[in-house]
């Protein structure tokens, strides 16, 4: 009847999230190319070597993202325990037959390809905790109790203990922030959150007082407090990173034209210090765009968490938001000298397969949660269609 309308459900992917991720992938690939095209020690004389590898990483990661996004949510929950167990197995293999790089035994060589299981452990912990809460509280209105909190901490504690043994302090800090965020969204009592914060501070004090850190890690913390303490040693990375970012000014020196980048003064610039390339070559404006894209990803992850109609989706999306948020803050912070150097990559931007695959798998899970949520809320995500004007006519 004319004038009457009915609502058609229009579930779909989160386009803002997808566009932000694509923007980061494109920008990151260009920055990796700029950071490596002039370095013969990295490329073996081929200026496009790392560019081609990064493009392969991006393509594989996008395929993994689509697979997770298109998978029925029930299968996602069924496979979740297998993903968790696989990550634990990977971390054990690292300790038994892993490769030591920059003082940390974090890598496994598989057919000439280096894999970092700790990157996948972040996602495994998120979905493991979300699954535990969902199985115990789906359909209930009661908040989680002590048993649930202890269970979530155990799920995170096993991989965290293995990561400590590597040691990989940066990943451990990211994991801690992720766990705290997931617990908060799951409804953990405030006293538990306060105890966790206090326990973290006490644990950090014990580690420092007990000299449990490796010498190079202690040097990094000392260099963070005073970069001039050892400008040719532990403080070199921080000092050169600051110089590179400062050289960019407002509009930057131009892509592929950064003086510090071309000279190769900043170590690990295509991985841990990729943000310095953005700061130097794209300036404050370009670096601001990069940060804005990361902020969009985190915002959409939190929005998807709020929109989710089930406990699993709500906790998993919030955990992913905390993971991306703290890791981005840690990476950019160490490039600016406001955080200690801990060797964590910038999500979707730094060179590397493991970080790229884990991050895009997480994006696939976010989109999966979003698809399920929008499909169950037709009145909110719908467009009016007048009778006699149906889709397809």
Q: Go through the chain and tell me how many residues it has.
A: 393
Residue range 21-44, pLDDT digits in tens? 999 999 999 999 999 988 777 777
| pLDDT tens digits for range 281-304 | 999 999 999 999 999 999 999 999
DSSP-assigned states of every residue in 321-390: HHHHHHHHHHHHHHHHTSS-----PPTTTSS-HHHHHHHHHHHHHHHHHHHHHHHT-TTTSEEEEETT--
Distance CA 277, CA 30 (A): 10
142-188 pLDDT tens trace = 667 888 899 999 999 999 989 888 878 889 889 999 999 999 988 88
Task: Supply the mean pLDDT for the chain.
Answer: 84
For residue 138, pLDDT beyond 80:
no
State mean pLDDT over 7-20: 75
Q: Which of 90-94, 101-105, 150-154, 310-314 has the lowest mean pLDDT?
A: 101-105
Greater model confidence, 260 or 9: 260
Q: Tens of pLDDT along 251-265?
A: 999 999 999 988 888
Region 84-97 average pLDDT: 90
Q: Over 80: is that where the pLDDT of 11 sits?
A: no
Summarised one tens digit per residue, pLDDT across range 332-353 is 999 998 888 888 999 999 999 9
Question: For residue 225, what are its two tokens?
Answer: 């407090």
Task: Give the CA count within 13 Å in the CB-facing half-sphere of 198.
Answer: 6
The percent of the chain in helix, strand and coil, each rounded to the nearest 5, is 65, 5, 25
Query: Which of 230 and 198 is assigned the larger pLDDT?
Result: 198
SS3 of residue 260 by DSSP: helix
pLDDT of residue 212: 59
Name the least confident of 133-142, 262-271, 288-297. Answer: 133-142
Taking alpha carbons only, the member of 133, 178, 147 closest to residue 324 is 178
* 232 C-beta neighbours (distance < 10 Å), count: 7
DSSP notation for 290-332: HHHHHHHHHHHHHHHHHH-SSHHHHHHHHHHHHHHHHHHHHHH
């Amino acid at each position: 009847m004319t004038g009457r309308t009915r609502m058609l459900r229009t579930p779909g992917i989160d386009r803002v999230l997808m566009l932000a991720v694509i923007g980061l992938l494109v920008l990151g690939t260009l920055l990796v190319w700029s950071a490596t095209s002039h370095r013969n020690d990295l490329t073996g004389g081929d200026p496009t070597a790392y560019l081609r590898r990064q493009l392969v990483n991006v393509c594989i990661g996008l395929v993994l993202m689509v697979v997770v996004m298109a998978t029925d949510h029930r299968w996602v929950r069924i496979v979740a325990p297998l993903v968790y167990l696989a990550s634990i197995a990977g971390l054990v293999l690292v300790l038994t037959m892993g490769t030591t790089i920059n003082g940390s035994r974090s890598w496994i060589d598989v057919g000439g390809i280096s894999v970092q299981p700790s990157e996948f452990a972040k996602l495994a912990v998120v979905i493991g905790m979300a699954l535990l809460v969902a199985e115990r509280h789906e359909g209930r209105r009661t908040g989680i109790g002590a048993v649930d909190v202890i269970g979530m901490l155990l799920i995170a504690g096993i991989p965290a203990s293995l990561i400590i043994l590597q040691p990989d302090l940066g990943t451990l800090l990211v994991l801690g922030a992720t766990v705290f965020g997931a617990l908060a969204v799951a409804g953990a009592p405030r006293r538990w959150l306060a105890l966790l914060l206090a326990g973290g501070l006490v644990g950090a004090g014990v580690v420092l007082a007990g000299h449990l850190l490796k010498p190079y890690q202690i040097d990094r913390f000392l260099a963070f407090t005073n970069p001039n303490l050892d400008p040719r040693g532990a403080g070199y990375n921080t000092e050169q990173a600051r110089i590179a970012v400062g050289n960019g000014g407002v509009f930057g020196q131009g892509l592929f034209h950064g003086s510090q980048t071309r000279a190769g003064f900043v170590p690990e610039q295509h991985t841990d210090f990729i943000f310095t390339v953005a700061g130097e070559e794209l300036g404050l404006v370009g670096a601001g765009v990069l940060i804005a894209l990361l902020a969009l990803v985190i915002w959409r992850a939190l929005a998807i968490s709020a929109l989710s109609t089930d406990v699993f989706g709500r906790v998993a999306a919030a955990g992913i938001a905390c993971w991306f948020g703290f890791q981005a803050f840690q990476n950019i912070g160490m490039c600016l000298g406001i955080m200690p150097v801990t060797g964590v990559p910038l999500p979707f931007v730094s060179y590397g397969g493991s970080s790229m695959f884990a991050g895009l798998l997480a994006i696939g899970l976010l989109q999966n949660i979003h698809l399920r949520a929008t499909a169950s809320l037709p009145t909110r995500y719908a467009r009016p269609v007048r009778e006699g004007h149906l889709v397809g006519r």
